[in-house]
C-alpha cells in the first residue's frame, strides 16, 4: 500500500509500529504492506526481507522476531488481535470491529473525496482521444478511444492533474476536396437541410457518393486482375467496357477534388468558410452522442488547425538537418548509421511527399510541439488503436531527434480491436450495405435491448423513469464492456452478454449500486444519521471483506492512472460488488437490532459511495433507483 493511500486509524498505528520495530521509514513500510493470500491468514501482510538483510538473520527468523516485538507494542494492543510469522512474512489480524470502524470512518471523513489524491497537483496531462474523421464514419475504434480517453481524463482529474482533452479531428486532406465537389453538385436547399439534420452522416454520404465511379473502377480492375475469377473472354471485354465508361468521370472528379483541396490549402476564403461549417456541423452532430457518453473536450483543434504551422516547421527541420530530402520527399530518417547486413532499413518518418503534400504524421508532429508549448504537459497521451503503433513510435522518435527530451513524456495508449457479434456471426460492426452504422444508432439499439430487462427488474418504475434507466443501462453497458478487460486485448462485443444484469457487466454494477441506495431509502433513516453509529459492531467476516475491498479503491484509481488502464477500476468494482453481495446474502441490514442496523447502514452507504464514484470514473451512470 503506497503512502498516498489515505490513512486510517489502524494503519496510523500499524505503520509507525512496524517502522519502529524494523528501523525502516514509514514510507518504506507503507509501500511494502500488502494482503496475505487468504483472509484467514490476516488482514495485512508485511514481507520481512529488508529487515532480515539489515539484521543478517534468515527472513523467517526475522518474521518471528518482529512478531514478538509487535505483540509487545502497547500502541497496537487496542486495535490488533494477532501478529503472526508465516515464513518470511508477518501477518497481522486486526480486531474485526476496529478494522471496519477505521476504514468506514476514513471514507466518511473524506467527505465524498475518497479515492482522490493530490498526486498530480500542478501537472497537466494532455489526452488525445476520439479523433473521428469528417469524411469517414465514426467507427468502433473511435468509440473505444472516446470511452477510454474520457475515463483516463476523469481518473487523472481525480488524481489531482489538470487535464486537456483534445479531439484531434481528421478534418484535413484530399477528402475535403471531394466533399466540396459533392456539395457543389448537390441541390442548394437539399444540402442545407441534410447537413443540418444528418451532420457527419451526410458528409460521409457526400464522400461515398462522389467516389462511386472511382470505387467502381477499382472494383472492376481488381476483378480483371484476378485472371482465374473471370476467364470468359466476353465477360472480360464487358468489364473492360464498363471500366472505360466509368473512368473518365472518376478521373475528372479526382482532378476537380484535388484542385478544390489545393484552393483550400492556399486559403480560398469561400472554401475555408465551408470547411469551417463542415467542422462545426460535424462536432455539433457528434456532441449529441458525446453527451450521452458523458464526454467533453477542452480542445477540438483537429488536423487542419496545424496547417499554418507546417511550412515554418519543415523549413526549420530542414535547416537544422533533422529532415532530409529523399527521392523528392522530405523525411526524418528513422534508421541511423550504416545499413546492417541482412536487416531491412526502417522506413523514414515522412513529412512531405514528393507531390508536395504534407500528411497525417506531419500534422501530428506539429500538434505535439504545439501542445508542449501551449500546455507545458507532464504527459501527452494518444488513445488510439494498436494499428497506429508504428506511427506513434516514429512520431516520438522524430521528437527525440529534434532534441526534445520530453519525447519520453509522450505515450501511445494503444487498445485492441473490438468486433461485434450479430447472431452467430462476428462482424466489424459498422458496415451496413457499405455504409456505417452511426454511433447514435448503436447506442439506441443497446437502449432498446435493455428495455425489457429494465421493465422485468422493476415494474413499479414510471414510464419516464424506465426510459431514463434504460438509457443509463444501455449506454452504461457499452461503456463498461469496452473497459472490462485490459485495453490491449481484442474482444467480441455481444449485445446480450454485455447487458446481462447477472454477469460481469455494467448493468450488474448499476443494480448493485441501486440495491445499496434502495436499502438506505427503505431504512427511512436520515441520510448521514449512521455517522454516529458504533462501527465496532461490524465484526462479521463478510463485513471485514467488504471494508477491505473498500480500502483498495484509492490504489485501484492510482494504478488505473499509472498504467492508463481504466479496466483496473472495472475489475475493482466487480470485486467490491461481489464482497457486498456476499454480505447481503448472509446478513440482514434493515431487520438488525437498532445499533447494529445503524452500523450496517454506514457500511452500505460507504459501498454506495465507492460504487458511484468508481462507475463515475468509468463514465457509467449510477441511477439510485432502477
Nearer residue to ligand ARG within complex by CB, 6 or 304: 304
Which residue of the chain is nearest ligand ARG when measured via CB?
A: 131
Compare residues 148 and 470 and give the one whose CB is closer to ligand ARG: 148
Residue closer to ligand ARG by CB (options 304, 552) is 304
Q: Smallest distance from the beta carbon of 142 to ligand ARG, in angstroms?
A: 6
Residues engaged in binding ligand ARG (CB under 6 A)? 128, 131, 133, 168, 170, 364, 367, 382, 384
* Half-sphere exposure of residue 395: CA atoms within 13 angstroms, side-chain side: 23
CB of residue 125 to ligand ARG, shortest distance in Å? 15
Strands 124-128 and 162-166: parallel
Please, what is the minimum distance in Å from the beta carbon of residue 302 to ligand ARG? Answer: 8
Q: Which is nearer to ligand ARG, 102 or 362 (CB)?
A: 362
Residue 147 CB, shortest distance to ligand ARG, in Å, is: 15
488-500 per-residue burial string, b: 16 or more CB within 10 A, e: under 16: eeeeebebeebbe
Which of 83, 23, 84, 81 has its CA nearest to residue 52? 23
Minimum CB separation from ligand ARG for residue 23, in Å?
50
Note whether 446 and 507 are within 8 A (CB). no
Q: Are the CB atoms for 93 and 82 separated by under 8 Å?
A: yes
**In terms of CB distance, is 379 or 608 closer to ligand ARG?**
379
Among candidate residues 250, 251, 166, 171, the one with its CA nearest the CA of residue 203: 171
Question: From the CB of 61, what's the least distance to ligand ARG, in Å?
Answer: 56
Q: CA dist 402 to 314, 317, 367, 381, 397, Å? A: 12, 8, 14, 19, 9
For the bound state, the minimum distance from the C-beta of residue 134 to ligand ARG, rounded and expressed in Å, comes to 9
CB of 329 to ligand ARG, least distance (A): 20
The distance of closest approach from Cβ of residue 387 to ligand ARG in the complex, given in angstroms and rounded to an integer, is 8
The sign of the torsion formed by the CA atoms of 497, 498, 499, 502 equals positive
Q: Smaller CB distance to ligand ARG: residue 128 or 265?
A: 128
Please, which residue, 128 or 605, has the CB nearer to ligand ARG?
A: 128
Burial 251-282 (b: 16+ CB within 10 A, else e): eebbebbbebbeebbeeeeebeebbeebbebb
Please, which residue, 382 or 511, has the CB nearer to ligand ARG? 382
278 vs 382 by CB, closer to ligand ARG? 382
Pairing of strands 324-326, 410-415: unpaired
Q: How many CA atoms lie within 13 A of 470 on its CB side?
A: 22
Across 455-566, the runs of DSSP E, i.e. the strands, are 491-494
State which residue, 384 or 429, has the beta carbon closest to ligand ARG.
384
Q: How far is the CB of 375 from ligand ARG (least distance, A)?
A: 14
- Nearest distance from residue 144's CB to ligand ARG, in Å? 12
C-beta of 128: minimal distance to ligand ARG in Å? Answer: 5
From the CB of 276, what's the least distance to ligand ARG, in Å? Answer: 18
Nearest to 386 by CA among 415, 361, 360: 415
- Which is nearer to ligand ARG, 164 or 473 (by Cβ)? 164
Between 366 and 569, whose beta carbon lies closer to ligand ARG?
Answer: 366
Closest CA to 18 of 37, 1, 40, 38: 1
> CB of residue 152 vs ligand ARG: minimum separation in angstroms?
14
Query: Which residue in 374, 419, 415 sits closest to 565, CA to CA?
Result: 415
For residue 534, which phi and psi values (nearest 5 degrees)? -85, 95
> Do residues 82 and 55 make contact, with C-beta atoms less than 8 angstroms apart?
no
Contact (CB, 8 A) for 83 and 67: yes
Cα 350 to Cα 355: distance, rounded to the nearest angstrom: 12
Q: Residue 301 or 479: which CB sits closer to ligand ARG?
A: 301
**Edge-to-edge strand ranges of the sheet holding 80-86:** 44-47, 89-94, 80-86
Whether residue 513 contacts residue 578, with contact meaning beta carbons closer than 8 Å, is answered with no
Whether 464 contacts 472, CB under 8 Å: no
- CA atoms of 310 and 314, how far apart (whole Å): 6
Burial class from Cβ neighbours inside 10 Å (0-12, 13-18, 19+) for residue 81 reads middle
**Any residues with CB less than 8 A from the CB of 63 and at least 6 apart, and which?**
48, 85, 86, 87, 88, 89, 90
Rounded CA-CA distance 547/530 in Å is: 16
| Angle formed at CA 269 by CA 265 and CA 273, multiple of 5 degrees | 95
Question: Is residue 33 within 8 Å of residue 587, measured between CB atoms?
Answer: no
Decide whether 309 or 497 has the Cβ nearer to ligand ARG: 309
Amino acid at each position: 500500500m503506497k503512502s498516498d493511500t489515505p490513512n486510517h486509524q489502524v494503519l496510523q498505528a500499524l505503520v509507525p509500529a512496524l517502522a519502529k520495530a524494523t528501523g525502516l521509514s514509514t514510507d518504506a513500510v507503507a509501500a511494502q504492506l500488502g494482503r496475505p493470500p487468504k483472509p484467514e491468514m490476516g488482514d495485512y501482510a508485511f514481507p520481512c526481507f529488508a529487515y532480515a538483510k539489515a539484521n543478517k538473520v534468515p527472513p523467517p527468523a526475522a518474521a518471528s522476531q518482529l512478531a514478538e516485538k509487535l505483540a509487545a507494542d502497547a500502541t497496537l494492543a487496542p486495535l490488533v488481535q494477532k501478529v503472526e510469522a508465516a515464513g518470511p512474512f508477518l501477518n497481522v489480524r486486526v480486531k474485526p470491529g476496529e478494522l471496519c470502524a477505521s476504514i468506514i470512518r476514513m471514507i466518511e471523513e473524506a467527505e465524498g473525496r475518497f479515492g482522490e489524491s493530490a498526486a498530480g497537483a500542478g501537472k497537466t496531462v494532455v489526452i488525445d482521444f476520439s479523433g473521428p474523421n469528417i469524411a469517414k464514419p465514426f467507427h468502433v475504434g473511435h468509440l473505444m478511444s472516446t470511452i477510454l480517453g474520457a475515463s483516463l481524463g476523469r481518473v487523472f482529474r481525480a488524481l489531482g492533474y489538470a487535464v486537456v482533452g483534445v479531439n484531434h479531428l481528421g478534418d484535413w486532406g484530399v477528402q475535403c476536396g471531394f466533399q466540396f465537389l459533392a456539395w457543389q453538385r448537390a441541390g442548394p436547399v437539399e444540402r442545407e437541410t441534410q447537413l443540418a439534420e444528418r451532420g457527419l452522416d451526410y458528409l460521409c454520404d457526400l464522400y461515398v457518393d462522389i467516389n462511386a465511379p472511382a470505387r467502381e473502377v477499382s472494383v472492376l480492375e481488381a476483378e480483371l486482375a484476378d485472371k482465374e475469377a473471370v476467364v470468359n473472354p466476353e465477360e472480360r471485354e464487358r468489364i473492360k467496357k464498363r471500366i472505360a465508361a466509368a473512368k473518365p468521370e472518376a478521373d475528372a472528379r479526382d482532378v476537380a477534388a484535388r484542385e478544390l483541396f489545393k484552393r483550400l490549402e492556399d486559403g480560398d476564403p469561400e472554401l475555408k468558410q465551408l470547411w469551417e461549417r463542415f467542422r462545426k456541423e460535424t462536432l455539433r452532430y457528434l456532441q449529441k452522442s458525446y453527451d450521452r457518453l458523458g464526454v467533453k473536450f477542452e480542445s477540438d483543434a483537429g488536423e487542419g488547425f496545424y496547417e499554418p504551422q507546417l511550412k515554418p516547421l519543415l523549413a526549420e527541420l530542414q535547416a537544422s538537418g533533422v529532415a532530409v530530402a529523399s527521392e523528392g520527399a522530405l523525411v526524418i530518417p528513422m534508421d541511423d548509421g550504416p545499413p546492417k547486413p541482412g536487416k531491412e532499413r526502417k522506413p523514414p518518418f515522412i513529412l512531405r511527399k514528393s507531390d508536395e503534400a504534407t500528411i497525417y504524421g506531419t500534422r501530428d508532429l506539429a500538434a505535439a510541439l504545439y501542445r508542449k508549448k501551449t500546455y507545458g504537459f507532464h504527459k501527452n497521451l494518444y488513445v488510439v488503436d494498436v494499428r497506429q503503433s508504428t506511427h506513434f513510435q516514429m512520431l516520438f522518435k522524430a521528437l527525440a531527434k529534434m532534441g526534445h527530451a520530453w519525447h519520453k513524456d509522450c505515450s501511445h495508449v494503444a487498445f485492441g480491436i473490438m468486433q461485434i457479434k450479430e447472431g452467430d456471426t462476428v462482424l466489424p460492426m459498422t458496415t451496413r450495405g457499405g455504409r456505417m452504422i452511426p454511433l447514435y444508432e448503436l447506442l439506441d439499439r443497446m437502449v432498446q435491448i435493455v428495455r425489457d430487462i429494465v421493465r422485468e427488474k422493476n415494474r413499479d418504475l414510471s414510464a419516464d423513469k424506465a426510459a431514463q434507466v434504460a438509457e443509463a443501462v444501455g449506454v452504461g453497458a457499452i461503456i463498461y464492456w469496452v473497459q472490462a478487460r485490459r485495453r490491449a486485448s481484442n474482444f467480441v462485443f455481444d449485445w446480450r452478454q454485455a447487458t446481462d444484469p447477472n454477469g460481469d457487466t455494467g448493468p450488474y454494477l448499476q443494480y448493485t449500486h441501486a440495491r445499496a441506495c434502495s436499502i438506505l431509502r427503505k431504512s427511512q433513516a436520515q441520510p448521514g444519521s449512521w455517522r454516529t453509529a458504533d462501527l465496532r459492531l461490524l465484526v462479521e467476516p463478510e463485513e471485514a471483506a467488504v471494508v477491505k475491498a473498500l480500502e483498495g479503491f484509492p490504489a485501484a484509481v492510482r494504478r488505473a492512472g499509472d498504467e492508463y488502464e481504466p479496466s483496473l477500476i472495472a475489475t475493482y468494482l466487480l470485486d467490491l460488488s461481489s464482497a457486498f453481495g456476499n454480505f447481503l446474502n448472509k446478513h440482514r441490514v434493515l431487520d438488525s437490532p437498532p445499533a447494529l442496523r445503524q452500523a450496517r447502514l454506514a457500511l452500505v452507504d460507504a459501498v454506495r459511495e465507492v460504487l458511484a464514484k468508481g462507475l463515475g470514473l468509468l463514465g457509467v451512470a449510477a441511477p439510485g433507483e432502477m
